[in-house]
Amino acid sequence: MSKLNYLKPSILFVLLSFFSISLAAQTKDNDGKVILAYVTSWSSVMPNPQMVTHINYAFGHVDSTFQGVKVDNPQRLRQIARLKKKNPHLKVMLSVGGWGSGRFSEMAADQAKREKFAKDCRRVVRKFNLDGIDIDWEYPTVSAAGISSSPDDTENFSLLMQDLRKSVGKKKLLTLATVCNARYIDFPAIMPYVDFVNIMAYDMTMGIAKHHSPLYKSENTTDLTAASSVEAHLAAGVPAHKLVLGVPFYGRGNNEFKASASYSRMPADLGPFTEQWDETAQASYLANAEGKFVFGYETPRSLAVKCRYAVEKGLRGIMFWEYAGDTPSNILCRTIQENLK
C-alpha cells in the first residue's frame, strides 16, 4: 500500500496542490520557448496576452537630437504594457527602428550621443513599465531604406549593444531583428549582450511571383529560405538557443491576385484562384486558373511545419509580424502554441 494512504487528508491536499502548481508552472513556461508578436502603434487590435510570451511594440525611433527615443503613439504603448496585469509572465518591449527609421548611423558613431541614447532607452523602459528594448536597425552599413549609413556601422552597432546592456541592466531584455542572410552585424561581438535574435525570414522576394517566406528551396523560391536564414545565422556565430525564427502573418505576390494581404483579410471566396501546397518548399500558395503561382502566404499548415522545424533545430522560438494579421479566433497564434511544444 502506498505511504500516501497513511497521510492525513490535509497533508495529502497540500502535496497534491504543490505538484499541480509545479506542473502548471512548467506548462506555462513551455520550456522557455518564445512566442513573440509585433504589435503596431497604428493598429487598434488589442492582443490576447495569453497567446504570446513576448510583445515587441512597433515602433520607437532615434529622435532628431540623435541622443534620445521618440515613441509612436505612447498611449497605445501604455495600453499594451498594462496587458501584463492579465498575464504576469508576459514581456513587453519597445522595438526601436523599422524600415525607413534612420538616425542610427549618426547616433551610434558618436560615443556621447550613443551613451545618451542608451540612457534614454532606460528612461523609456522605466516610464512605460517595459521589460526591455529591441533594436530593429534596417540595416547597418546600408542606405536602402533612404536612411544614412556608414562603413563603420557594423562596429558601432556592437558598441551600441554594449552600451544598451550597460544602461538597461542585466535584468532587462535586449534583443534585435536581423536580415535573413545574417549580414551587416558582427554577431560574436554582440552575443555577450543580447538575449536573443529575431530573424526576419520574410519579404525575401518582392514584386515577383515567388514564395517570400518558404521553409525550403523549390522551383517557386529564390535561394533565400527560412532554413537558409537559420543556417546563415548559425554560421555567423549565433547559437541556436538564441535564435527566434520570424514568420509572416501575411502573404505577397504579383498584382494578379494581390500584392500583399494579411491572413485575416484573405477573402473567403478566392474566385478563380486555388490554394496549393508546395511539398518541396513546405509552403502554401495560390495558383491561377492556369496553375501558375501568383501569391505565397503563411497558413496554419505551413506555420505548423515551421514550428516543428524550430523545435527540431533547438531554436528559442517563433516571432511574427504582426498580431493584427491573425484572425479574431487566433488561429495562427494557436497553431504556434500547439506546435512549439
CA 169 – CA 166 distance, rounded (Å): 5
Task: Give 30's pLDDT tier (boundaries 50, 70, 90).
Answer: low
Q: Which three cell numbers stand for residue 268?
A: 473567403
Residue 187 has pLDDT above 80, yes or no: yes
Q: How far apart are CA 164 and CA 116, in angstroms?
A: 10
Residue 20, pLDDT score: 36
Q: Tell me: the pLDDT tens digits for 129-179?
A: 999 999 999 999 999 999 999 999 999 999 999 999 999 999 999 999 999
Q: Out of 106, 115, 138, 338, pick the active-site residue.
A: 138
* pLDDT > 70 fraction of the chain, expressed in percent and rounded: 91
**What is the reported pTM?**
0.91
Is the pLDDT at 192 greater than 60, yes or no?
yes
Q: Name the strand (E) or helix (H) holding 314.
A: none
Active site residue 138: yes
Average pLDDT along the chain:
92
- Residue 262, strand partner residues: 250
Chain segment 43-76, per-residue pLDDT in tens:
999 999 999 999 999 999 999 999 999 999 999 9
Question: Which single residue is written with the C-alpha cell 534596417?
Answer: 138
Answer yes or no: are the C-beta atoms of 199 and 230 closer than 8 Å: yes
Q: What is the mean pLDDT of residues 104-108?
A: 98
Alpha-helical regions (H) of the chain: 9-29, 74-81, 104-109, 111-127, 153-168, 187-190, 226-235, 300-312, 331-339
Residue 275 confidence (pLDDT) above 60: yes
With H, G, I as helix, E, B as strand and everything else as coil, classify residue 55: strand
Distance (Å, rounded) from C-alpha 198 to C-alpha 178? 6
Q: How far apart are CA 272 and CA 291, in angstroms?
A: 10
Q: What is the Cα gyration radius of the chain?
A: 22
Q: Is the per-residue pLDDT at 274 higher than 50?
A: yes
Segment 315-341 mean pLDDT: 97
What number is the average pLDDT over the span 16-23? 37
pLDDT at 23: 34
Instruction: Report the pLDDT averaged over residues 105-111.
Output: 98
Query: How confident is the model over 299-323, as a mean pLDDT?
Result: 98
Please answer whether residues 157 and 105 qualify as being in contact, where contact means their C-beta atoms are separated by less than 8 angstroms: no
User: What region does 64 belong to: left with phi over 0, alpha with psi -120 to 50, or beta?
Assistant: alpha
Domains (range + CATH), the chain: 31-251+297-339 (3.20.20.80)
Which residues have C-beta within 8 Å of that of residue 148, sequence separation ≥ 6? Answer: 102, 103, 105, 106
Q: Report d(CA 296, CA 44) in Å as an integer.
A: 26
Length of the chain: 341
Beta bridge partners of 250: 262
